[in-house]
Structure 1
Amino acid sequence: MVERSRIISPGPRWQACPVIDVDLALVGGGGAASLVLAALAPSGVRVAVVDPVHKRGQDRTWAFWGTPGTFLDPLLSAAWDAVDVITAEGRRTLPLHPLRYAMLRSAPLYDLAASAAQRLGAVRITAAAGTLDDDGTRVVVAGPDGEPLVRAAWVLDSRPRKPDRPGRTAWLQHFRGWWLESERPVFEAGRAVLMDFRTPQPSRGVSFGYVLPVSDRFALVEYTEFSPAVLTGDAYDTALRGYARLLGLDLATLRVREVEDGVIPMTDGVFDPRPSPRVVRLGTAGGATRPSTGFTFTAMVRQADRIAREVAAGRPPLPGPPYPPRHRWMDAVQLRALDRGLVDGVAFFDRLFDRNPPERVLRFLDGTTTLAEDLTLMSTSPLLPMMRAATGDALARAAGRVSRARWR
């Protein structure tokens, strides 16, 4: 018999109850936890989800590349076999085979996670988590007031947090997207725009537009910046109105059905993926966000898949590193080059796609290229500026190590 997931709220009745024991507690119930729940559905492990909000509906959109034929296929809103990169000089269409670019809205994933929770008989605790007390054998998840909520053999914590050690470069990917609906066809349904650099460029950073059409009458149109700080006031709406005009869209004839905002860290700061023996961090908190682009979703999928395989084999639910160490270094060098103005951001990305097969670039950004492919990619970047950035990064790392040693 499948037990329905239980909803437990904090309060006097809860405080009188004994602490629930489970195999695995998911602290945070967003995308990372939802993917883990879906992957664990066949396992039969005892699971608890601790989050003050039961995630439902459309609250975000993930766009990512990967190969067709996964469990996500039925959940997708759209997918494209080619994408466009546009600069002032023209439009470049990038064939992605054997990959594809895909869009997943949150509601289907949350629904899948709810079904998995029901199948597992999961306990859902609608409360904010506070401390995680790890004694090396079990972890007690407490509420903000210190009252125990659940005891688990392992805790997977996906709550957003700042890096445990600040980076040498700290940028943000920040954006606003409008879901635009028209009564007549105005979008090219089979044509997605990955990066449109015709937007006005900030004095320090890179901006671009982004178009993901679900149909010829409904699309996500977004303005994104890679830069050190978020915009203020109505600057995102102003930028979006300007980009819509650039696309030839008449906003007077369109309806903004939904608005999406986001801020994602782009930093070489250190996120500790395992702060104690039985606590493991997932998602951005566990280093799954790619510093050079802000992309996170495919790394979260890999983490969830690895956790499920480890659990099935009777091993600890450890997701492994989201990216090879050399990719973290390459990202740090790229961020430094952009931050110090050693390279022009638009020219850098345009050159990367111009001198490499698109599939190789996308696999690099996904963290799945080989060392030989990475060396080829490095050889196509502007060598002198990147060498200066690499030298500066090495000196900064050495200075940081000396500084930390002095304070020990």
Structure 2
Amino acid sequence: MPDSFDYIIIGGGLAGLQLALRFAEDPYFNNKQFAIIDPSDKTENDKTWCFWEKGKGNWESIIYKSWESGRFLTSSKYLKFQLEPYKYKMIRSEDFYSLAKDRLQSLNNFHFIKDSISEIYETTMIAHGAKQYQATHFFDSRINSSYLKDKKSSLLYQHFKGWIIETDSNIFDPDQFTMMDYRLKHNNSTSFTYMLPLSRTKALIEFTFFTPYLTEESVYDEMLMSYIKEYLGVDQFHISETEIGVIPMTDFPFHKDNTPSITKIGTAGSWVKGSTGYSFKHTEKKTAKIVANIKAGKEPSYELLNSRFRWYDAIFLDVLTRNNEMGEEIFSKFYSKNTTKNILKYLDEETSLSEDLKIMFSLFDVEFIKSFFRKGM
């Protein structure tokens, strides 16, 4: 195992492995040496990723389930929507890790190293055990924790706990997922239930918060139990898997830590969609752009982010940070006053300015005007 590489990727999660696969698929990098360094072996199913896309994509072999229709619910609304020409797709992290490692470990120029990195100095990186690694460029997924104290940025946490439950009777409609169900909320917060039916007797059910604070694990359990019993009418069920997570939703400029020799990736590079927490397809686009930039002789981080959409996200986050009780109202307008196609196109950051304005007007509220000026572009 060499200690010197052309490129080192710090972190073997979603961003690091998608980037490594991009490099591996391009013959331009066949003579380059890569290291992927992570303290974990990534063998467990620690996450579920969902995304929407048209037709078949790059991950069809590991799609666990997909849906062509969904629903959005509040105490006064029931909206059913068709996703055509999109599909909503689910991937289990263990399947993604396995696919990525199988592909990369078959190549002589990709090396997996189990280690934890403490510092990077120009072209030299030092692990916690004082071992040194050298590279021409580093792709770093470690998060700059200063966002927690930054008073200029808005910060919400998307935090959740989910159960995969199994029942004895046919309870679920496996052809329709629930994007948001606001009928059950915790106190006066933006909180909702998200449900992915996997069969008629099996579903992933998550209780999710978009809040400026975190909560005790017992709160998730209480809300999940209430939803299953009161809204699904299920008394007898078995919990086969549990998932818990926290995603920072912020307009903090993580990407400003990029340097000529270090490119921040994933959450650490501002790749997570600030207003939703979705990252899978955004990561796919960012990794493709990095590879194209390097081949064009540009810095890997060149034009990776869209400042217009970051501004939109900053406005949204500012509204919910200051008025967290407005979540149900905002998302209700979003889903009821716009077509599903335009919603998904907007969240993919592929809409035109005129299309953006239509969506903005559909959300109109005096609080958005205040945040518009607070978060001047």
Q: TM-score, normalised by structure 2?
A: 0.91
The AA in structure 1 aligned to 2:330 is: F
Once residues 119 and 8 of structure 2 are traced to their aligned partners in structure 1, the CA distance between those partners, rounded to angstroms, is 13
Query: Could you tell which deviates more after superposition, 68-77 or 315-324?
Result: 315-324
Question: Residue 129 of structure 1: CA displacement?
Answer: 0.9
| Maintained 8 Å contact 1:199/1:209 | yes
Question: How high is the sequence identity, in percent, across the aligned residues?
Answer: 27
Aligned pair in 2 of structure 1 residues 71, 273: CA closer, same or farther (>3 Å)? Answer: farther
Match of residue 231, structure 1, among 192, 211, 215? 215
Query: Could you tell which deviates more after superposition, 157-166 or 100-109?
Result: 157-166
Three-state SS of the structure 2 residue aligned to 1:344 is helix
Three-state SS of the structure 2 residue aligned to 1:168 is coil
Aligned residues: 370
1:378 aligns with 2:366: no
Question: Residue 48 of structure 1: CA displacement?
Answer: 0.5
Question: Residue 194 of structure 1: CA displacement?
Answer: 0.5
Query: Could you tell which deviates more after superposition, 354-363 or 115-124?
Result: 115-124
1:128 counterpart residue number: 116
Once residues 280 and 251 of structure 1 are traced to their aligned partners in structure 2, the CA distance between those partners, rounded to angstroms, is 50
Once residues 174 and 372 of structure 1 are traced to their aligned partners in structure 2, the CA distance between those partners, rounded to angstroms, is 33
Question: What stretches of structure 2 of length at least 5 have no aligned partner?
Answer: none
Match of residue 72, structure 2, among 72, 85, 88? 85
1:350 counterpart residue number: 332
Query: Could you tell which deviates more after superposition, 243-252 or 187-196?
Result: 243-252
Decide which structure has the larger Cα Rg and report it. 1
| Maintained 8 Å contact 1:82/1:95 | yes
Q: How does 1:208-219 map to 2 (within 5 A)?
A: 208-219=192-203
1:306 aligns with 2:293: no
2:163 counterpart residue number: 178
Match of residue 240, structure 1, among 215, 224, 236? 224
| Maintained 8 Å contact 1:38/1:112 | no
Three-state SS of the structure 1 residue aligned to 2:142 is coil
Q: State the 4+ residue runs in structure 1 displaced beyond 3 angstroms.
A: 308-311, 313-317, 319-323
Question: Residue 319 of structure 1: CA displacement?
Answer: 5.0
Once residues 272 and 110 of structure 1 are traced to their aligned partners in structure 2, the CA distance between those partners, rounded to angstroms, is 25
Match of residue 49, structure 1, among 36, 57, 64? 36
Question: Residue 201 of structure 1: CA displacement?
Answer: 4.1
Q: How does 1:147-166 map to 2 (within 5 A)?
A: 147-148=131-132, 150-162=133-145, 166=150
Once residues 321 and 112 of structure 1 are traced to their aligned partners in structure 2, the CA distance between those partners, rounded to angstroms, is 29
1:366 counterpart residue number: 348
Question: Residue 37 of structure 1: CA displacement?
Answer: 2.2
Q: CA RMSD in A?
A: 2.1
Q: How big is each residue's C-alpha offset from its partner over 1:270-317, in whole Å with a ceiling of 9 and x where there is no partner?
A: 212553211101110000111211112211111222234445x36457
1:12 counterpart residue number: none
| Maintained 8 Å contact 1:26/1:47 | yes
Match of residue 272, structure 2, among 289, 292, 308? 289
The AA in structure 2 aligned to 1:266 is: M
